[in-house]
Copies of this chain bind each other. A is one copy, B any other.
């Protein structure tokens, strides 16, 4: 995001008509939405809250965006801009893919509300998002992946990444069977043996390693 003041000119403007210079810009709205999401969590982004932070009436936003979904799309493109796909075309594809997946997961772990948006929003007209997919796709192609498999590989990794991003939001006791412990000895055993710490990350790294190993085999047998 190009830097934009977090909050607009402290006091709300009192004039009634068109301002002499525009108060809002598309980038300013996006930056405000990102900040709101970061500060207040996923329920914190409302059109009213966004307008207040920008020092305008909620209806003023609709001169710049058609819907709240538009705002989410712009935020998503901004988040994707921060994902590291620099390894493609430089490092071996397995390393590039692993670094991309980690960076991607971390970005959406910070913005879980965007996960369902990301899974469903067409890429067209989201420039950073298109740039990311281009880097990944062309990287896989030039690493020797057959063209007909490339998008499936991207989608499979992405599905795992987005699911893992959601998993970071799970409470620590999500697998505690509670009253039903007596009926769940296997769950209890597995939970007790699971090492403490960042369990979401451990599960992600295990899955990522498995997925990459399987993809390596698949490429070897496909070529």
Q: Which one, A3-11, A22-30, A55-63, A128-136, is touching chain B?
A: A128-136
Which B residue sits closest to A127, measured CB to CB? B180
Interface string of A134-170 (1 = CB under 8 A from B): 1101111100001111111111111111111011011
B residues less than 8 Å from A170 (CB atoms):
119-120
Residues facing B in A110-130 (CB within 8 A) are 112, 115-116, 119-125, 127, 130
In the complex where A134-B187, A137-B187, A141-B189 touch, is A123 in contact with B204 (Cβ < 8 A)? Answer: no
Among A33-41, A46-54, A64-72, A209-217, which stretch is in contact with chain B? A209-217
Q: A119-B169, A137-B189 are in contact. Are A148 and B214 (CB under 8 A)?
A: no
Residue among A135, A149, A179 with max Cβ neighbours from chain B (10 Å) = A149
**A183 and B134 form a contact (CB under 8 A):** yes
Q: How many copies does the complex hold?
A: 2
A121 cross-chain contacts in B, Cβ below 8 A: 174
A137 to B193 Cα, complex, angstroms = 12
User: Is B157 in contact with A207, judged by CB distance below 8 angstroms?
Assistant: yes
A133 to chain B, nearest CB (A): 5
Contacts of A152 in B (CB 8 A): 194, 199, 202-203, 206-207
Of all chain B residues, the one with the shortest Cβ separation from A191 is B151
Q: Which residue of B lies closest to A147 (CB)?
A: B193
Residue A178 CB within 8 A of the other chain: yes
